[in-house]
Amino acid sequence: MRRSVAGFPEHRNRASASATSPARLTLISIGVITPVPFRGARPEYLPAVGNTIEDSVGELVADSRAYFATRLPAGRHPGALAVGGALRSRPPVPSRNSGSDISGPSATAGFEVADYARRAPLPAQRLCIRSDLGRATRSRPPLGGPLIVRAQPTTPSPATTPPARRIPRAIDLLIRVAETIDRAVGWPRLPKPLGLAVLVGLRARLRSANLFDTGPHPAGPLPADPAGGREQLRARTIDGTYNSPDDPRAGSVGCRFGRNVPLRHTYPEDPARILEPNPRLVSQQLLTRDRFQPATTLNLLAAAWIQFEVHDWVSHDDADTEPWAVPLSDHDSWPARPMTIPRTAAVASPTPGGPPTYPTADTHWWDASQIYGSTAKFADALRTGKQGRLEVDELGLPPISVEGLLELSSAAANAWVGLALLHALFMAEHNAICDQLAQRYPHMTDENLYNTARLVNSALIAKIHTIDWTPAIIAHPTTVAAMRANWFGVLGERVQRRFGRLSGSEVLCGIPGSALEDSGIPFSLTEEFVAVYRMHPLIPDNLVVRSLADDSVRAEHPFPDLGVAHIRERLAETSMDELFYSFGRAYPGTLTLHNYPRHLQNLTRPGHPLLDLATVDILRVRERGVPRYNEFRRQLRLRPAATFEELTDNPLWARELEQVYGDVENVDLMIGLYAEPKPPGFGFSDTAFRLFVLMASRRLSGDRFFTTDFRPEVYTEAGMAWVRDNTMRSVLLRHFPSLAPALDGVANPFAPWRSVDPQTRQRKRSR
C-alpha cells in the first residue's frame, strides 16, 4: 500500500480527471493507513468555512485533489462510511462564520483539522467529515474516536475544481528543501545566491498552493475570436478581453477577483464580528499619525508611483445597498452618527453556498488602463486621431473636456498632484513612442501606431515597476537581484543585451518572452493582493516646493491642497520639472503603526461624503473575507504569532495591540503587517512580501503580451528596443532634461535625489 505524504496544502485548479477514474482517499491515524476507493465525477468545495471544531478532529491527508472543509457541519448528510481517525489537540482558533450547526464552546476551546491534498486524479464528489457523536456541545470523544467520511456526487463548477498541474517529485523535493531552509534560517540571512534559490522555491510553492479561481466572468463567455477579427488579438483591448487564449474574458472589466487562500476562508466575517474591534477605534488608537515618520531611503515619487499602479490594476464599485454603520463613542468628533461606509458591490458565487465574489471595475492586466481608460468613450476622446498620439493640454494633462468623461469614482476622486505628474509623464512618453514608430515605419496607420505605442508604454511601465520601484522599496541585496532576475533572468541584463534570449526558461532569461504561465488558474488579481497593497502611510502631511535652480523653498502646501480639486492650480503656478524635483527631494512616510496621515482620516473629496480612509481600510479587508493576520500567515505556511510580543518587537505596540484586540488571533491583517519587524532594507513586511513573490511574477507570466507575444512581430523591432533601452531615469530625462543634475549619481530614481545648487550644476557641466 502506498503511503501518502503529509504537508501539502489543498489545491484547487481546474481538474482534468476522467469522470470515471477512481480515487484513493487515505486517512492517517497514528500509523494506521486506511484506503477508501470512490468513483464519481470531479470534487467540489464545501460551502462551510472556518477552522475549529470541538467534538471531532482528525489529521486527514487526501491522496487526491480533494477539497476539505476545516470546520465541519455535524449530522447533516445520511449514508456515511465510517473509518478510523485520530484526534489531535491543537490550540484554539477563533471560528469564522460557516453556517454550520456547530455551536457552544467550539469557538473558544476546540481542535483543528489539518487537511492536505495530493495532486492525483480524483473524481468529482462532495466530501465532508463529521463526528458521529452529534453536536459540538455534547461530550467529546476520546482520542482515536471515529470519524465519518461521506462521498456525495455533485455537479462540478469551474470556480471550485482542483488542479490539473502536478509538480514532479524532484521539483517538489527542491521546493521542500527551500521551505525548510527558509523556516530554519530565513531567506534574508542567506548568501545572495542561496537566498535567490530559496525565493524561487517559495514562488513555486505559492504558485501551486495559493492561487484560487472564484469562477467565470458573471457576464458569461465570449466567442473565441473578437468581432473585429483575429488581427485585434495583436493589440490590447480597452476592456481587457481577448488577452488570454483560453478564456477571452479573463482579467477583463467585470471579472471576479481571485483569491490567494482557499475559498472556505474567504467568507465575509459574520455580522457579530465584522465590527469587532470597532474599525474606527483601530483607526484612532493604532493608526493615527503622532508625528511624521519618514522613509529616508525613498522619495515621494515612490508613494505616487504605487498609487499610479494600483489604479491600473484594481478597482471595486460600491453597492447600492444599505451601508455599513460604524458606531461611534460619545467623545468622537465625527460629525455624523453612525459613521456610514458603502458596502462593496458583490456577485454571488457560481457555487451554491459559496462565498460572495467581487467584480473589478477596471482590467486586471498590466495594460496602463489608468492612462488609456477602460471604456471606449474615454479612450477615443483621449486620442487625437493622428499618428496614434494622445491629446494633452498646455499643462500636459488630458483636456478638461476629456477628464469630464471620467465618472467621479473613488479612484478618480483620490487623484492628487503626484498622480497627475505621472499621468502627464507617461502620456508624453506615449507620444514620443508614436513619433519613433512613425519615423521607423511610415506605413503604420493611426490605429497601428496607437496600439503599438500602448503595448510599448505599458511594458516599459511594468519594467520600471520591476527593476526600479520594487528594488527601491525592498532594498535587500537578495530581493534587488530577484526583481532584476524577474525581468532579465539570473543570466542578467548584459548577457541578454549581447546574446539575446538564450533559453525559454524564465529563471535563466526572465519572464518577458518566456512561455505563458498561469498555473492552471484563469488570470485575475486577488483580494489578498489588494489587502497587502494598502499603503496610505506613505503619504506625507505636506509638500515643500523647491527651486530647481538653487534648492530654495518656493512654497509649502498641506496635502489637502494637492488634492484633485487643486491639481490644475498647482501645475499652473509651478513648472512640472520643479514639481518632479520637489518630489524627488521629499520623503514619503514609513509603513508602520501610528503613521497614518490625519488628513486621510478626515478626507473630503468632490462629490463624496466625509471619509476616514483608515477605518475604510480595516473594514474592507474584513468585509471581503480576507483572513486576519495570523490566519493569513497560516495560509502562506508561515508560523502565526503566539503572543503580541511575538508579533512585534516594539513592547509599547504589543501592549496597545493587546488593549485593542485582546486576543492575538483577532489582529487585523493590515495592522499586523504594519506592526511586524521588517527584513533589512524593506519598506514593508515579510508577510506581505510572500504574496508579492507570487503576484509580482504572475502579473507578468500570466499575460501573453509579456510572454508569448513579447516579440518584434507584435511590438515591432523599434518597440522592443524602446522597452529594452529605457528606465525611469531615461523617461524623466527625455521629457525634463533639466532634472539631470538632481539625478546625477543617484542609483535609483525612486531614492532621494541630490540637492541642486549652482555648484552642483557647474560640476555637472564640467564633466
Catalytically active residues are 533
**Three cell numbers at 339?**
459613521
What residue type is 679 in one-letter code?
P
Residue 465 φ/ψ, nearest 5 degrees = -65, -40
Residue 589 Cα distances to 24, 542, 578, angstroms: 54, 11, 21
Looking only at the bridges linking them, the beta strands covering 147-152 and 81-83 are: antiparallel
> 85 with 29: CB under 8 angstroms?
yes
- How far apart CA 699 and CA 525 sit, in angstroms, is 8
Query: 583-609 burial string, b = 16+ CB within 10 Å, else e?
Result: bbbbbbbbbbbbbbbebbbebebeeee
**Angle, to 10 degrees, between the axis of helix 576-585 and the axis of helix 300-313?**
110
Residue 489 φ then ψ, to 5° = 85, 165
Q: Cell digits for 593?
A: 503603526
3-state secondary structure 244-298: CCCCCCCCCCCCECEECCCHHHCCCCCCCCCCCCCHHHHHHHHHECCCCCECCCC
Q: Are 339 and 615 in contact (CB under 8 A)?
A: yes
| 587: region left, alpha or beta (phi > 0 left; psi from -120 to 50 alpha) | beta
Q: Look at the alpha carbons of 447, 450, 452, 454 in this order and tell me if their dihedral is positive or negative.
A: negative
Residue listed under C-alpha cell 494622445: 390
Distance CA 425, CA 731 (A): 8
